[in-house]
Amino acid sequence: MNRTRAAAAAATLATATLALSACSASSGGLPDLPAPTFDEVTVHDPSVVTAGDDVWVFGSHAASAHTTDLMSWTQNSMSVGDADAAGLFDDIRAELAETFAWAQSDTLWAADVVELPDGRYAMYYNACEGSSARSALGLAIADSVEGPYVNQQILLRSGMWDEESENAGEVYDATVHPNTVDPDAFYDEDGDLWMVYGSYSGGIFILEMDEETGLPVEGQGYGEHLVGGNHSRIEAPSIRYDEETGYYYLFLSFGGLDASGGYEVRVARSESPDGPYVDAEGNAMADVAGAPGTVFDDASIEPYGVKLVGGFEWADGPGMGGDQGYVSPGHNSWYDDPETGESFLVFHSRFASTGEIHEVRVHQMYMNAEGWPVLAPARYAGEGLAAVSADDAAGTYQVVLFDKVISPFVPTSVAATLEADGTVSGGLEGTWELGDDAAVTVTTAAATFSGVVAPVWNPTAAAWTWGLTVVSEGGVPLWGRQDGAGA
């Protein structure tokens, strides 16, 4: 099933699933869940599309992988060099020769695949020179998600210095025009196809698309500007419609993608696919950009957007690998399960002490009382929302309080206790209150946070524990996981 066409139905089911689990499950402790098994894959900039029971991700360098449970993945391809052997193309170098030549590159950037109404699969491929915004974005189509994809044409170009851009009559200017990479095609509530794209440079743009052909509707040039400019480090847009809240959610990655870049995921929302988008404080995202005359001015963009995840460390982690925390997590897509109504964020992350090695990670995504998404504080391990009592939620947690500073220096968890009397003590001080349907509010001297308490797998304890995920009115998340089962 098309991930985007399933979104509306899945969003409706999500509320029913939450209420059902809260009413029918016992509130006497954690649900009885098996220990998870994970099989890892490496796909940078994973973009989700479904085919039958398979959930696929496509990403940079022609990498791809698939899964049926979001935990055990199978690598399909890893590079342009093995794309033909994997069946993605018959001859990728020949098919995309014009793209490679324009972009002055021998590899591809963040591909996106979407199912068209007639059942064919459209791949929006792209390539970039890398040190500049010299890029090309094109379309290839296949009858099957596995390929082979057949090139149709280049759709957009950027980096045509001192020449007319895709906007008729305008000379290309990388501070205001987009870098034509990082596409994400999606369907709106009426079934109309759109494509959002862009990275750094002039920011993020959106185009109306023809769902029959997969091509942009004529006469739009680069499309409509949504956010960014003056080379601010904002990229990797992805848009999800939520029928329950009625909002379109624009996910973005702020910062730099490498291990020292401070990469992180933020979100804004709008009542229309083409904006205007705002954050939790009502800031207009169209106005968010680097200061004029600057390059990569993170200070200009740090205050904006609702943060979902950034780099962090678990103080009780084993010292290596993903359980210690994340380094530069970002460039996400999303998946809504059409049967359960559960929603997930799918992204890549690097890890402490492992350099630039990256793997795919999936976290369950919940909606808080104010209609903002929050992420489970641990990777998806087969859990779902469950009934939780105040006695369950009370206990000692490792707590991560994020901030909005874009930096390679990340917060480390501290021990804090949700006391039975409704106070919070230790490394975090304040009060907490459990509401209906696993909703929770945490109040500190600095802010009020809203979210949920839900089961998570704690690999340090090798046990299922309760997880806490909340976000403040200013868009700063707070995560926690109990130290041990029922602790």
Q: What is the DSSP letter of 295?
A: S
Query: For residues 345 and 326, what is the distance between their CA atoms, to the nearest angstrom?
Result: 15
Question: Which one from 45, 166, 242, 313 is the annotated catalytic residue?
Answer: 45
| Furthest-apart CA atoms within the chain: distance in Å | 68
Query: For residues 99 and 251, what is the distance between their CA atoms, to the nearest angstrom?
Result: 27
Query: In a 10 Å sphere around its CB, with 0-12 CB exposed, 13-18 middle and 19+ buried, how is residue 472 labelled?
Result: buried
Query: For residues 418 and 432, what is the distance between their CA atoms, to the nearest angstrom?
Result: 7
Q: Do the Cβ atoms of 481 and 467 come closer than 8 Å?
A: yes
Q: What CA–CA distances, in Å, run from 240 to 227, 257, 458? A: 16, 22, 29
Q: Sheet containing 121-128: give its strands across.
A: 112-115, 121-128, 135-142, 150-158
Q: Do the Cβ atoms of 327 and 351 come closer than 8 Å?
A: yes
Could you tell me how far CA 358 lies from the centroid of its own chain? 15
Q: Do the Cβ atoms of 136 and 102 come closer than 8 Å?
A: yes
Could you tell me how far CA 101 lies from the centroid of its own chain? 30
Collapsing DSSP to helix, strand or coil, 23 comes out as helix
Q: Is 235 a catalytic residue?
A: yes
Query: In a 10 Å sphere around its CB, with 0-12 CB exposed, 13-18 middle and 19+ buried, how is residue 12 labelled?
Result: middle
Q: Is 184 a catalytic residue?
A: no
Query: For residues 345 and 363, what is the distance between their CA atoms, to the nearest angstrom?
Result: 5
Q: What CA–CA distances, in Å, run from 411 to 92, 262, 332, 406? A: 43, 12, 21, 12
Question: Which one from 95, 112, 208, 235 is the annotated catalytic residue?
Answer: 235
> What Rg value do the Cα atoms of the chain yield, rounded?
22
Number of Cβ atoms within 10 Å of the Cβ of 110? 28
Catalytic residue set: 45, 235
